[in-house]
Amino acid sequence: MTWQLTLARKAELRRKAGLNRQLRIRGAAVNLLDLAGNDYLGLARHPRVLRAAGDTLNEYGLGATGSRLVNGSTKIHETLEATLSTALGGEALLFSSGYLANLGAIRGLARRGGLLVHDAHAHASLIDGCRLSGVPTTVMPHSDPQTLAAILARHPGPAVVIVESVYSVHGDLAPLRDLYKTCRVAGAILLVDEAHALGMLGPDGAGGVAAAGLSGADNIVITATLSKALASAGGLIVGPRELRRHIIDTGRTFIFDTASPPAVAAGALAAWQIAVDEPHRRATVSRRIVHAAEALGVTVPAAGVLSVPVDDARKAVAWADRCRALGVAVGCFRPPATPDRRSYIRLTANAELSQADFDRAIDLIVRERP
């Protein structure tokens, strides 16, 4: 049997189990009520964001044309890093994606003879960072500071604990203060991925760490993506000056990757400024996600994403397809993309939708529930 036939057989098995995936081509025109994307604050088409990106596109051209260390760093990258450094309480380093930022952060923090501990619900990029580090890794039960304390007590060497502030599938908030206390007692570093919290939680949207009163605390490192509430692309690591210097000098996902286009960075900077200037957008998302959770009978999440469990992957796909056919886009999360091997319909709240459209979308989702 050729290798192509082997892959085809595996694909057929996934199809029968409802685990196959397909690309959905999205047009420029908005023809669906979007409760699937991560543009929580509704900034992807904001005039200030488009103007900033367009002006920078005309000035710098399409791409960065090189890595950050060759010729890919521009004044707009520097300004975005400085702005987010001030907001998040550390020194920021910009990457072309949140995935690469997570790989780079974990590799930069990992030490020979050390231990990595990641939450059982950690994002794939965090898990991959642990695997690629070559450092022994332990999985702790989800949001369980007591078990974490026992794990760290058994390991006398350096340790890095890896969590998300808001988890990307269930939307729940990590107990960051308790996790930080546990790490501090053990002398461990706490790495917090703020992907779904940046722009959404804390003062001016500075994230879950800021909301927990831990901005600038010793032994906390933040990673985040600019592709969620800030409606752009790129990732960042925020931590002490020594870490930034270390990653610039040694971080493979920083050194050998082409920089994010200046126009994209400019759009992200404009989006951040809007998020600070217009807190009513966060308030709108909060109200809407509470309404959606109550209508669907699930726990109210921490930020702008919630998931509804479905007992079979094929039922989840069918539910999502019915909603899409009727004009509402929802996410459909199935193994291996879920942390507990269950399937979910995932909804996000978008502040840009009218209240009438959002209510209509939720009513339709509830009506079509299997």
Mapped onto helix, strand or coil, the DSSP state of residue 62 is coil
CATH number of 208's domain: 3.40.640.10
Q: 167 and 311 share a domain?
A: no
pLDDT of the residue at 28:
62
Q: What is the pLDDT of residue 30?
A: 65
pLDDT-based confidence at residue 29 (cuts at 50, 70, 90): low
For 94, phi and psi rounded to 5 degrees? Answer: -90, 135
Instruction: Judge whether residue 166 has pLDDT over 70.
Output: yes
Has residue 113 been placed in a domain?
Answer: yes
Residue 38 to residues 5, 21, 137, 228, Cα–Cα distance (Å): 36, 19, 30, 5
Domain annotation covers residue 39: yes
Do 53 and 41 lie in one domain? The reply is no
Question: What is the 3-state composition of the chain as percent helix, strand, coil, each rounded to the nearest 5?
Answer: 45, 15, 40
Q: Mean pLDDT throughout 214-240?
A: 97
Residue where one domain finishes, among candidates 276, 311, 326: 276
Domain total of the chain: 2
Summarised one tens digit per residue, pLDDT across range 63-103 is: 999 999 999 999 999 999 999 999 999 999 999 999 999 99
> What's the pLDDT at 240?
97
Write the burial class of residue 166 (CB in 10 Å: 0-12 exposed, 13-18 middle, 19+ buried).
buried
Same domain (yes/no): 223, 292: no
User: Where in the sequence is the domain holding 348, given as residue range(s)?
Assistant: 30-45+279-367
The reply to whether 252 and 297 lie within a common domain is: no
pLDDT of residue 199: 97
The whole-number average pLDDT for the span 236-243 is 97
Cβ atoms within 10 Å, residue 245: 12
Q: Which residues are bridge partners to 302 per DSSP?
A: none
pLDDT at 27 over 90: no
Percentage of the residues of the chain whose pLDDT score is greater than 90: 87
Residue 245 has a pLDDT of 97
Taking residues 340-354, report their average pLDDT: 93
Query: Is the same domain home to 111 and 203?
Result: yes
Domain of residue 354, CATH code: 3.90.1150.10
Specify the length of the chain in residues. Answer: 370
Phi first, then psi: give them for residue 126, nearest 5 degrees: -70, -40
